[in-house]
Structure 1
Amino acid sequence: MDHHEETTNLIAGGKVSGTEVYNGAGEHLGQIHDLMVDKRSGKVAYAVMSFGGFLGIGEKYHPLPWSTLAYDERQRGYIVNLTNDQLKGGPAYADDLEPEWDRDYESRVHGYYGVRPYWDQ
């Protein structure tokens, strides 16, 4: 078995990028652009979702706390219980303006989505 292949419960980080994201109604919202991993625990803290734009132009990146995503075997993608409007109003950044990933920014992200911070779980 190639060490980059998926097992039942695990997936290589490089393969998560590009995975589709849907809302609870099955509507396509975007796709996973990248993951942010906590250096100390090794746990995934955020999935950064690409959303909006056309052919990569004007795309925004939305950090979603990992706890807001659930993998759906049937759709082979992640489900978030968020509307388009909730996503549009959430913390986001352009490709060339990545935020300072400090506790202040991370607290705002978790506060917006109403979930406990990963460092407090």
Structure 2
Amino acid sequence: MTTVTGHTQAIPASRVIGTSVYNSAGETIGTIEDVMLDKTSNGIMFAVVGFGGFLGMGEKYHAVPWPALGYDKTRGGYVVPFSVDQLKAAPAYSVSELTQDDGRAARDAAFLHYRVKPYWH
């Protein structure tokens, strides 16, 4: 079943992981490395987007609020409505930091930084 915007309501995580992410200017900013699930609300906390790095070294991981990702069929990837400056200033984490405190610290910082309405309120 599709939503009013033509998107499907369900998608396997395996199809999301590895998908490119673009900024509002159409530039590739990274790829979705993983998604963090919120077991208590049965929702998605955030997408883990990898920015930069070479062969896994020096890569920064950013928690990007799931509601901020819009899929663009023409690009075959997700687009976020953020400026280059917002993305550069975003909190960056290691994989272990993303999961500390059940992921709440990274989630809260991401929703605050990008000014996305928290789903848990």
What's the TM-score, normalizing by structure 1?
0.81
What's the TM-score, normalizing by structure 2?
0.81
Residue 19 of structure 2: aligned partner: 19
1:55 aligns with 2:52: no
Aligned partners of 1:97 and 1:44: how far apart in 2? 18
CA spacing shift, 1:26–1:102, aligned 2, 3 Å? closer
CA-to-partner distance for each residue in 1:7-45, whole Å, 9 max, x for gaps? x71321122110000012211000001001110232112
Aligned partners of 1:21 and 1:104: how far apart in 2? 23
Assess if the C-alpha contact under 8 Å between 1:68 and 1:80 holds in 2.
yes
CA-to-partner distance for each residue in 1:73-103, whole Å, 9 max, x for gaps? 1111000012333222111112454452454
Unaligned runs of 5+ in 1: 1-7
Residue 78 of structure 1: aligned partner: 78
Q: CA RMSD in A?
A: 1.9
Please tell me the residue identity of whatever aligns with 1:119.
Answer: W
CA spacing shift, 1:97–1:16, aligned 2, 3 Å? same
Unaligned runs of 5+ in 2: 1-6
Residue 39 of structure 1: aligned partner: 39
Instruction: Report the structure, 1 or 2, having the larger helix content.
Output: 2
Q: How many residue pairs are counted as aligned between the two chains?
A: 113
